[in-house]
Chain A
Amino acid sequence: MSSQRAHGGAAGVLLAVVVGVGSAGCGKAAFPTELFTVHGRNADYPVMVSETPGDGGREISASSGTQVSVSQSSYTSGNTRVTVTTTRSARSELPASEKLAAQVRRSDKWVQIQNIEYEAVDFSTYGSSAAGRELRIDAEVRK
């Protein structure tokens, strides 16, 4: 009797893990390219991406991206096993390029991009996972 229960429990755990592993690849969200684009479309001043001689100026920076985390917990109530999956997601409202442009003043002559960084981090562990994508732009405004 106890042998049957042990085998049944192991099979249940096995099934839950296989379903969890199998469903990990489902439902791919669209990639928001506008949050990961470096541009100077509406700028009426130079936004230099190449190294340009000039005196140091005010430093500005901006970032945008997305974050997703998924966690799973289970409990047993009577004969029923309940699994709760919690998904949290967040994304920037404004792209980094627009946030950067908003920091440039009328008195500034041009912008020197100092560094552009695209960062993606995925993390997985027992019952939870997280993914972050971020674009960071560091720049200097020259007068």
Chain B
Amino acid sequence: MNLARATAARRVGPAVLTGALLLATTGCYTTSNVVTMPPLRTDFPVSASGQYVDGDGDIVEEDGYEDVSTFTIERTYEVSRHGEGRIEAELEPELQRIVEKAGGDAITNLEITAVEYDSGSHNSAAGWKIFGWTMGLSGGLIAGTGALVGGDAADVLYPVGGVLLGVGVVGYLLSFTTTDPAQWQMQVSGQVVRRKGSARPEPAPEPAPQEL
């Protein structure tokens, strides 16, 4: 009897170890969303304060320019859940268009604010996947143990393991129904200005409607 138990334990031991190893090596989920902004490559100066450096390297203070208009733009930068992304903000085309339209020659008091970060479906999808792994591997282990031990115990371990395995697979599959991306929501605002005494550039004309 003792010999039979020892043999069963010897058989079950590696199976439990394998299951533990599988659990330890699966079920870690990371979502990483990085937005980078290197120095803007624009034809005009852009400053986050009330002063700016012009093309000749001279500092233009607040009394050296006049305000033309203010602007606010909103941007969203997203990465798929459980994905990793590094995105360059690329604000230049939008700022260029704003300055040209307003007839200015610089931007001051630029503010870049991340107004919200939404992790999307990261947590819910990870929850379902981890649930799936836990249930699936537990079910597999229980059913495997039933196969190794055999006898009356197998009659109980097989159905329990099978049910848990099925629940695990369903749980893992449910993770694919939660796919909202993780996103930074940014707001960029500032002031378009024109240097005093500079020739007033013509505001960019509105694009003509296309004839069909």
Contacts and interface: CB of A to CB of B under 8 A. Distances in A.
For chain B, give the interface size range: 35 or more
A39 B46 CA distance: 12
Nearest to A46: B51
Interface size class of A (residues with CB under 8 A): 35 or more
A110 B57 CA distance: 11
A117 B182 CA distance: 16
Interface string B107-147: 00111111111010011101110110011001000000000
Contacts of A94: none
B47 A46 contact: yes
B35 A46 contact: no
Interface of A: 2-3, 6-7, 10, 13-14, 17-18, 20-21, 24-25, 31, 33, 36-41, 43-54, 109-110, 112-126, 129, 131, 133, 135
A114 B119 CA distance: 27
Given A7-B160, A17-B134, A17-B135, A46 B114 contact: no
B21 interface: no
Nearest to B164: A10
Chain A contact residues: helix, strand, loop or mixed: mixed
Given A38-B111, A45-B51, 17 more contacts: A33-B114, A39-B109, A39-B111, A41-B111, A46-B47, A47-B47, A49-B47, A49-B48, A50-B44, A51-B40, A110-B59, A114-B39, A115-B37, A119-B33, A119-B35, A124-B130, A133-B117
